[in-house]
Amino acid sequence: MSGRAIISCFSPPSTTPCSAPIPVLSRRNHLLHATPPSPHLLSRRSHLVVAGGVGGKTWAYARDLDNVEEEARWWQVFPKRWVIVVLCFSAFLLCNMDRVNMSIAILPMSAEYNWNPSTVGLIQSSFFWGYLLTQIAGGIWADTVGGKQVLGFGVVWWSVATALTPIAAKLGLPFLLVARAFMGIGEGVAMPAMNNILSKWVPVSERSRSLALVYSGMYLGSVTGLAFSPFLIHQFGWPSVFYSFGSLGTVWFSVWLSKAHSSPLEDPELRPEEKKLITTNCSSKEPVKTIPWRLILSKPPVWALIVSHFCHNWGTFILLTWMPTYYNQVLKFNLTESGLFCVLPWLIMAISANVGGWIADTLVSKGVSVTRVRKIMQTIGFLGPAFFLTQLSHVNSPVMAVLCMTCSQGTDAFSQSGLYSNHQDIAPRYSGILLGLSNTAGVLAGVFGTAATGYILQHGSWDDVFKVSVVLYLVGTVVFNLFSTGEKVLE
């Protein structure tokens, strides 16, 4: 009997039972046992069955019954691997929210504590001291014990350090430097841990899209942090930014504990067909017991990643940490305008990263070699920013300057389908360690680049800052195209 037939059996104003109750119960029992339901849905269906015998209200419950099976199917067929991807995306969203809030808060903090540009550069770079320490360690930890524990630890650690930042600042500059370094320790394990998890959960055919989505979380985190920080500062003072952003980590952690697993082999609720799809299309399965350091460091594609990561991060971290200051001092935007105009490039990066991921996976599915795809995407990620940064020296209007900055970072985001996807290509079992290695070079670029920018600005100009970035982008382009590959070089 169909759902409509069931409904027509019941007359809402009447208390007379339907003349054919058995088919109704049979239909409902069929719905209850056709597919394995979640406990929530099972409870809801039982409620519907019991309510079905209660007079005039039963027609409404019976009408709703037809939607139950559809709802159950939707939740059951949603790929668990993309639940993992979305959770990693949200972790990276929080990561950059907590990181960029200092870029805005540093302006009123500098005025309050009378910091000069060199001191500001020191504070901005102190984050990278801790970030540098846990790159390789985080990769080793993730590849040996699993990414779930490592990423969970990282989010909790950096969230606590973020919330303690205002207290540290009031105690004095040394305490603030330590707090920022501690925050870097927590964020330092995030990328290696994420890379380890996705190497186990995501098939090769979905690699670029999944990584692009996760990294776009960083960009949207910058958007969110830069958009809300000025509002919070104006309404509640600069400490509120650190208290409010830091508290969000506890919410994420509670969901992560209940939903995530380091590997599909550890997930008891994973559907058999999805588990088969993942395990037959992912190269990384078993945890690493020993690390062949000499073999890893003997491979030219590994060094191509390390050098390219350094060149890429020099320009990226300078823009991340110094863009609000550039808008405020050079373009004469106020605090709110600086925050709002800083949002646009990061928003474009979030879009560009996902577009690039889709293009890369499409090219691979059409038979283009992974090596060629990675080189195409990374060339765009290097030469695009290099071109637009050179134009900043020639523009005379704030609008054109913002446009150049936006286009620079928009093309930069194609790197997510280039070098950032390449770790899993060449060494899927050691992807966490390999990302830790290359990102160590990237963090060194952040440490030296951010601090050097403060020095350059005291003795030179913004044009000098951009010229250094352009030179490194060109070096990265040459190295990546000569020595990188999309083939597996480490078993």
Provide φ and ψ at 470, rounded to 5°: -60, -45
Hey, what are 82's tokens?
């993309």
The pLDDT of residue 200 is 87
Average pLDDT along the chain: 82
Please state the domain extents for the chain: 3-77, 80-483
Distance CA 377, CA 362 (A): 13
The owner of tokens 């400490």 is 239
How far is residue 218 from each of residues 70, 88, 103, 306, 352, measured CA to CA in Å? Answer: 34, 10, 15, 21, 13
**Contacting residues for 27 by C-beta, under 8 A, at least 6 apart:** 1, 3, 6, 65
The pLDDT of residue 239 is 95
Residue 356 has pLDDT above 70, yes or no: yes
Residue 360 has pLDDT above 90, yes or no: yes
Lowest mean pLDDT among 86-95, 195-204, 466-475: 195-204
3-state per-residue secondary structure call for 276-332: HHHHHHCCCCCCCCCCCHHHHHCCHHHHHHHHHHHHHHHHHHHHHHHHHHHHHHCCC
Spatial contact of 362 and 373, defined as CB atoms under 8 Å apart:
no
The answer for 332, left when phi > 0, alpha when psi is -120 to 50, beta otherwise, is: left
Q: pLDDT, tens digit, for every residue of 389-423?
A: 999 878 878 888 888 888 998 999 999 999 999 99
Distance CA 362, CA 355 (A): 11
Q: pLDDT, tens digit, for every residue of 57-73?
A: 444 454 554 554 555 45
The owner of tokens 């992560």 is 256
More confidently predicted of 458 and 484: 484
Residue 371 has pLDDT above 60, yes or no: yes
* Across 330-358, average pLDDT: 83
Helix 419-426 / helix 431-459 crossing angle, nearest 10 deg: 150
Residues 159, 161, 163: CA angle, nearest 5 degrees = 70
Cβ-based burial of 133 (10 A; exposed 0-12, middle 13-18, buried ≥19): middle
pLDDT grade for 452, boundaries at 50, 70 and 90: confident
Residues 242-266 as b/e (b if ≥16 CB within 10 A, e otherwise) read bbbbbebbeebbeebeeebbbbbee
Residues 249, 193, 406: CA angle, nearest 5 degrees = 70
The owner of tokens 């992912």 is 282
The answer for 206, left when phi > 0, alpha when psi is -120 to 50, beta otherwise, is: alpha
Residue 244 has pLDDT above 90, yes or no: yes
Residue 75 has pLDDT above 80, yes or no: no
The owner of tokens 């990675």 is 374
Lowest mean pLDDT among 46-50, 75-79, 387-391: 46-50
Q: What homologous superfamily does CATH list for 80-483?
A: MFS general substrate transporter like domains (1.20.1250.20)
Hey, what are 95's tokens?
């990561």
Spatial contact of 227 and 343, defined as CB atoms under 8 Å apart:
yes
